[in-house]
Amino acid sequence: MSLTKYMWAAFGLALALIAQPKAGYAQDCTTKIGAVLPTSVDWGRPIAETAQFAVDQVNAAGGVNGCQIEMVLRDTQVDPKVGVDAAKALVDLEGVNLLLGAVSSGVSMPILTSVTVPGGVMQMSCCSSSTAFTKLSEEGKTNGLWFRTFATTGVQSAVAAKVASDQGFKSIAVLYKNDDWGQDMARLIAADFAAVGVEVTASVAINDGQPSYRGEVTEALASQPEALYLALYPAEGTAAVREWISLGGSQKMIMANSLKSDEFRDNVGLQYLGSALGTDTASPRTESADAFRAAYVERFESEPNGPGLANSYDAAMISLLAMQAAGEGATGAEMAAAVPKVTDPNGTPITADTEGFAQARDILAGGGTVSYQGATGDVRFDANGDVSAPAVVWSFNEGGTQEVEYLSLAEVDAFIGSLK
Amino acid sequence: MIGVLSYLVFFATTASILAIAVLGLNLQWGNTGLFNGGVVAFFGAGAYGTLILGGPPQEGMVGGFALTYPMALLGGMAVAGVMAWIVGLLTLRLRHDYLAIATFGVAVAFENLMRNAEWLAGGAKGVRGFERPFREAIGDGFLYNLVFFVAVLLILIATYVFLERLVASPFGRLLRAIREDEEAAQSLGKSPSRVRLTAFVTGSVIMGLAGGLYGTFYAFVSPQDVLPTLTFQVWAMLIVGGAGNNRGAVFGAFLIWGAWTISGWALSRFAPVEAQLYTGSVQFILIGAVIVGMLVWRPQGLLPERLIVSQQGSNPVNKRGE
């Protein structure tokens, strides 16, 4: 039967492909890092591009420990099976000790439990927000290998509660995206609103891709809230807010950072968003954040306005700084242990660009520590690999968004403390 | 080289788990002609069932029964079986595309239930499983994956042997008779509805077994694992491998999952840097093209069903198999 022969031939070919060494790259020495990101999804591609941008800057500064960095990028297709397989291939076949990704918590989690923790690989995600990671880490099951630059939903929800209380709202309805992030957000925001004395009249889940949200919006409207809180993404946010306003809902709105998009502003109409306030964790105050924005605009010819871009940049940059700090040939665990050295609040501040990386390398070589001033502010991880961050309150204007209020890290921490 | 070996073991484990699910579908579609468009619901029921029954208690959730592993896995299969029995009673009088739509609806409903039922399944956050069984004895490294793979492979072989014997038995002939001409079977005193239900539940329990192993392997399951993509993948494996042929089902699972992963790997390795960002989309095109090509040029699959005339009478009805 010739078919069997074909099977063996195909199998042999596959083996040969796997075993074949990478054909001659001109670089003297290359260190590979892995990235598993949903590049087949429209919003996933810019996240990957931004990570590659950070890698390019580091390479321009001479690379890490004298070696150029090659980021091997694999697509997750937002499918856990595909993501886990890609991560395993990166760890086993490409030999990476550092993995960036994934975006969805439902993909990051099985990668963490079945690939990176058993394999001793450091994993840093730009965007996974589930509180399940914090819990896993508290139980000591991440071995300290897990980090994320996406501030936990706690910061956003606390700042939203502060906005509601500052604005003097008495009651509010919540519309949230029906995924892990949205459900976490809805749970936290209910507690935080209650803590500042704002009544939550309704909390309604919004599923993706529905042609109309009239039923959901009517339910929220029927509870007669004074204001509306939105934990939604631009596509379904636009649809829901249009229905909300056309049915006579209040224009007093508080939005999560996911709605900080030109698409949402244009499709809803700026005239309806005059009293809408947004929250975000990015800090536009530090020089390095400005440098990031300027560099991003120069490189991609657009503002870094999509979700997760600044976080993706910081994830890549901090990981590479930690790799530098851990020294040549470091294991994933050693890199993870070196993260505090590059995010030390008492260290020398460095900017998030090529010069910043070069400067950090010299300081680290001299045994010092640095304080990375990133695109999302002066990032600092807690014991569970979570970040707290400074926050801003923003609103829409003709050019995009403008800052209304800035809350430093200390102010955010103090306010979160006062809620408990 | 240990890296390559380690990856191959990991790959083969996933492929074997998927192969078990494809075998379950083959019993339903290949042998009985039941168009199950909701494979992922029964796979998911097995995965969720196993993890909820075997997992440690978690805050704000029922479950955490912490049963011993074999009990949890059997429990997961039972959950899938019970669900299939209920769904089967309601829908099995439907034929072909109607049954496909009904079962597809069940799968979507199942995903939405899991996404929303935080008290039961952790909602969109998913269920974190238990420590992988025997991990303490074997450790966490390559050896563990190897042992797990061997276990999965043995289960795959057992399922294969079970189905081969089932299909060769008089019951197997009955399944094919119902597939080919239900009224003829009925006229011989058989009860097609009961037989169809039996085949549907058995196939679903096998899918539940695959789901349970999948949940165990990743120690985690979330609504993202039970999206319709999986149904599509399992069907693609069966169609390419050859419906009605158990060997084809297993071969198709390895082939399609291999194509899925190797194309991603090869593109990431050999595509030029500028094209890297588009490899995800290119991969979809490649895999879609392979499936379309199969359907156009070899619709019976790579290993087509072997029709056996079990009793050679003086006037054989069907000579196609020779």
A6 in a structural domain: no
Percentage, residues of chain A above pLDDT 70: 91
- Asked whether residue A207 falls in the same domain as residue A262, the answer is yes
**Phi, psi torsion values for B208, nearest 5 degrees:** -60, -40
- The pairing of strands A370-372 and A348-350 is parallel
Three-state secondary-structure class, residue B222: coil
pLDDT for the residue A23 = 41
pTM score, whole prediction: 0.80
Say whether both A142 and A207 belong to one domain: no
* Token reading at B308: 């056996």
Contact (CB<8Å) B219/A114: yes
The average pLDDT across A272-292 equals 75
Q: Are residues A321 and A223 in the same domain?
A: no
Same domain membership, residue A121 and residue A172: no
Q: Give A 48-77 residues with CB within 8 A of chain B.
A: 48-49, 52, 72-75, 77
Residue A236 domain-assigned (yes or no):
yes
Q: Is residue A4 part of a domain?
A: no
- Domain match, A324 and A381 both: yes
The residue segments making up the domain with residue A139 are 28-151+284-388
User: Into how many domains does chain A fold?
Assistant: 2
Q: Give percent of chain B with pLDDT exceeding 90.
A: 42
Res A20 pLDDT > 50: no
Q: Looking up tokens 């399940």, which residue turns up?
A: A132
**Do the domain assignments include residue A181?**
yes
At residue B271, the pLDDT reads 75
The overall average pLDDT reported for chain A is: 85
Q: Which domain holds residue B22?
A: 2-225
Token reading at B82: 């019970």
Q: Which of A39-43, A139-143, B18-22 has the lowest mean pLDDT?
A: A39-43
Structure tokens at A84: 């886990």
**Confidence (pLDDT) at B314:** 52
* A33 vs B: CB within 8 A: no
Q: What is the mean pLDDT of residues A286-314?
A: 81
Whole-number pLDDT of residue A248: 87
One domain for residues A371 and A232: no
Tell whether B128 lies on the interface with A, counting CB pairs under 8 A: yes
Cα atoms in the Cβ-side hemisphere of radius 13 Å centred on A80 = 28
Q: What's the CATH number where A272 sits?
A: 3.40.50.2300
pLDDT confidence of residue A294: 83
- Would you state the pLDDT for residue B321? 44
Do A364 and A378 share a domain, yes or no?
yes
Q: Which residue has the higher pLDDT, A92 or A28?
A: A92
The Cα A345–Cα B294 span in angstroms is 60
Residue A180 C-alpha, separation from nearest chain B C-alpha, in angstroms: 4
Residues A144, A188 within the same domain: no
Residue B277 placed within a domain: no
Buried b (16+ CB within 10 A) or exposed e, B307-321: eeeeeeeeeeeeeee
B125, A184: Cβ pair inside 8 Å? yes
Q: Is residue B152 part of a domain?
A: yes
* B101 class by beta-carbon count within 10 Å (0-12 exposed, 13-18 middle, 19+ buried): middle
Residue type, A208: D
Cα-Cα-Cα-Cα dihedral sign, residues A258, A261, A266, A269: positive
Regions of chain B short of the pLDDT cut 70: 1, 59-64, 134-136, 140, 273-274, 276-277, 308-322
> What is the sign of the dihedral through the CA atoms of A72, A76, A77 and A81?
positive
A88/B10 CB distance under 8 A: yes
The answer to the question of residue B143 being in a domain is: yes
SS3 label, residue A206: strand
Tell me the shortest Cα–Cα distance from B194 to chain A, in angstroms: 35
Query: Does A6 score more than 70 pLDDT?
Result: no
> What is the end-to-end Cα distance of chain A in Å, rounded?
72
* pLDDT tens-digit map of A145-189: 999 988 777 788 888 998 898 888 989 999 999 887 888 889 889
**A78 in any annotated domain:** yes
Q: What 3-state class would DSSP assign to A401? A: strand
pLDDT band at residue A235 under the 50/70/90 scheme: confident
Residues A242 and A318 in one domain: no
Is residue A260 domain-shared with residue A197, that is, in the same domain?
A: yes
Residue B291: both structure tokens together: 């499936």
Whether residue B286 is contained in a domain is answered as no
Domain-located, residue B321: no
User: DSSP of A223-243, one letter per residue?
Assistant: T--SEEEEE--HHHHHHHHHH
Residue A68 has pLDDT above 80, yes or no: yes
Where helices occur in A139-213 by DSSP H, the ranges are: 153-167, 180-195
Residue A167 belongs to a domain = yes
Residue B241 lies in a domain: no
CA B177 to CA A410: how far, in whole Å? 75
Report which secondary-structure segment, H or E, holds B290: helix B279-297
Task: Tell me whether residue B86 is in a domain.
Answer: yes
Confirm if A255 and A278 have CB atoms less than 8 A apart.
Answer: yes
A184 and A202 inside one domain: yes
ipTM above 0.90? no
| Chain A hits for B123, Cβ within 8 Å | 180, 183
- With respect to residue A10, please indicate whether it lies within any of the assigned structural domains: no
Res. A336: pLDDT tops 50:
yes
Single-letter amino acid, residue A8: W
Closest residue by Cα to residue B119 from B164, B168, B64? B64
pLDDT tens readout for residues A359-381: 999 999 888 899 888 887 777 88
d(CA B197, CA A48): 48
Judged by DSSP in three states, A65 sits in coil
Look at A40 and B280 and tell me if their CB atoms are within 8 Å: yes
| B257: in domain | no
The verdict on a CB contact (< 8 Å) between B126 and A106 is yes
What local confidence, expressed as pLDDT, does residue B210 receive?
Answer: 97
What's at B300, amino acid-wise?
Q
Strands (E), A164-323: 171-177, 199-206, 227-231, 253-255, 276-280
User: Same domain for A147 and A157?
Assistant: no
B144 — contact with chain A (CB < 8 Å)?
A: yes
State whether residue B274 sits within 8 Å of chain A by CB.
Answer: no
**Number of separate domains in chain B:** 1
Q: Under an 8 A CB cutoff, do B258 and A14 touch?
A: yes
